[in-house]
Structure formats: C-alpha cells, structure tokens
Amino acid sequence: MSNDTHHDDASRNRAASPDEPLIQGHNYDGIEEYDNPMPGWWVWLFWICVAFAPVYVLGMHVFDVIPTYEEKLEADQAELAKIRTAWDAQNPTFEASNAAIAGFVGVDEAIAAGRELYSANCAVCHGNSGEGLIGPNLTDAYWIHGNENVDIYNVITNGVLDKGMTPWGNILAPEERSRLVAYIRSIEGTDPEGAKEPQGTLYEETLYEEDES
Ligand code: HEC
C-alpha cells in the first residue's frame, strides 16, 4: 500500500456518508474512478462460465462426450430418416394400376365418395349425370383416351390441357382419383338424358360385360 503512488489520499476510499459514492483512491490527471463493484450475479455468472469452459472444450474435443454441431445434425438426420421410413411403410405410395384401381370399382363407399367428388369438380364440364357437356359423355362406350381403369385414371391425373380437360393430379389425392374412376365405371351404360354424341373409339366389351353381370 505504501508503494501505491496514485493512492494519494487513503481516506477518500471510504464514503463520508452512505449516500456519497465511493471513490477509488487513485487519480490520473484529475480523473477519478468510482469504486462500484460488479454485481454479485454477474461475478457468479463469470466464474460459472470460467468453470464450464474447460468442461465443454475437453468434453467436446478430447473425451468426445459432448456431440459437436455436425454430430448432432447427423444423429438428428438419421432419426428423421427413420421417421420417414416408418411413415412410408404405413402410407405406401399409391401405384396406379388396373388392379389397384379395381379395388375401388364396384365398392359402394368408393362410388358414393366418387359421386360427391364428381358433382363438385367434374359435373360443370361432363354434365350432372356424366352425359357430357364441354367434356365428352362418360356414360357411353366411346372413349378418346382408352377405357381401362388406368386410362381413365391417367386422363383424370394428367388432364388434356389443349382440349380443356383439367389435370387433377395435384388437386385430388390418388385415392380420390380412384374413387372417381369407380364412379365413372358405375355410370357406364346408363344412357342419361341429353347424352352427348359419342366421341372416340367404341369399346363394346366393357359396356356389355357390365350389363351381363
Ligand atoms: C373444364 C372442363 C372440364 C372439367 C372440370 C373436367 N373435365 Fe374431363 N374432360 C374435359 C374435356 C374437354 C375432355 C376431352 C379431352 C379430349 O378431347 O382429349 C375431358 C375428358 C375426360 C375424360 C376422358 C374421356 C375419354 O373419352 O377418354 C375423363 C375420364 C374425364 N374427362 C374425367 C373427368 C373427371 C373425373 C373430372 C373431375 C375430376 C373432369 N373430367 C373434369 C373437360 C373437363
């Protein structure tokens, strides 16, 4: 203390009254300094950080018990891949095939659901009963794009843009499109009022096959 040349007045280190701020004893070219200690919480935080730093550095880079950002990312992505695989297993992507769509054809619930979808989305162009309007008659045995289940499914999915048939692939789910095929199959041969003149190729078999059964 006696060597402290800046400590020119030790008594100034103590405040005269509690209201008066403590002044550090030193004086640099007339500049004095308040003796305000760091708040306790700050000092604690500081020491906790100091204590934590070596734990963190050694844990991450030497003992490898704390995962690095890259390791965490890799682990999380592996986890995500597992969730995706499980999801895919539970929700197999619908493969449009004659056989798969045949699972909908003739099924009452599928036809009823298909009828609703049809009224909401298709009737404007194909008529309320499929008799044809802007779009072709869907009840006759004439088909422009083929009359296999999958042909009808594909027209619904991809549309015929230059002829004014909307593609529904991004609007209706595969199951919904299959229900529409089921509905269209169910109205085949119904010969509704105001039926539009035939368009396309005649496919006799299907129509009479349905009639015979
Ligand atoms: C904006 C009018 C429009 C809407 C809406 C529409 N279609 Fe069409 N559709 C057409 C036209 C036009 C064609 C004829 C395409 C051609 O000439 O190649 C067609 C063709 C078809 C065909 C093929 C017929 C054949 O003879 O091969 C099917 C099946 C069909 N539509 C089903 C549907 C279904 C199901 C919906 C509702 C989800 C629907 N369409 C909605 C206009 C429409």
Token pair for 2: 């006696």
Count of domains in the chain? 2
Q: What separation in Å is there between the alpha carbon of 191 and the centre of ligand 1?
A: 18
Which residue lies with its CA nearest to atom 37 of ligand 1? 122
Q: Which atom belonging to ligand 1 lies closest to the Cα atom of 147? A: 27
In a domain, 26, yes or no: no
Cβ(207)–Cβ(132) below 8 Å: no
Tokens, residue 17: 């009254």
User: C-alpha 137: how far from its chain's center?
Assistant: 38
Q: Which of 31, 63, 90 is the last residue of a domain?
A: 90
The answer to whether residue 112 sits within a structural domain is yes
Q: What is the CATH number of the domain that holds 179?
A: 1.10.760.10
CB 137 within 8 A of CB 195: yes
- Beta-carbon count within 10 A of 208 CB: 12
Q: State whether 103 and 74 are in the same domain.
A: no
Work out the end-to-end distance of the chain between its first and last CA atoms, rounded to an integer number of angstroms: 114
Residue numbers of the domain that contains 65: 40-90
- Is residue 172 domain-shared with residue 134, that is, in the same domain? yes
Nearest Cα residue to atom 5 of ligand 1: 122
Same domain, 55 and 113: no
Tell me if the pTM is above 0.85: no
Tens of pLDDT, residue by residue, the chain (213 residues): 444 444 444 445 555 566 666 777 788 888 888 878 889 999 999 999 999 999 999 999 899 888 899 999 999 999 999 999 998 888 777 888 888 999 999 999 999 999 999 999 999 999 999 999 999 999 999 999 999 999 999 999 999 999 999 999 999 999 999 999 999 999 999 999 999 999 999 987 655 454 444
Phi and psi at 165, nearest 5°, equal -95, 120
- The answer to whether 33 and 23 are in contact (CB under 8 A) is yes
Is 113 in the same domain as 204?
Answer: yes
Structure tokens at 212: 């015979």
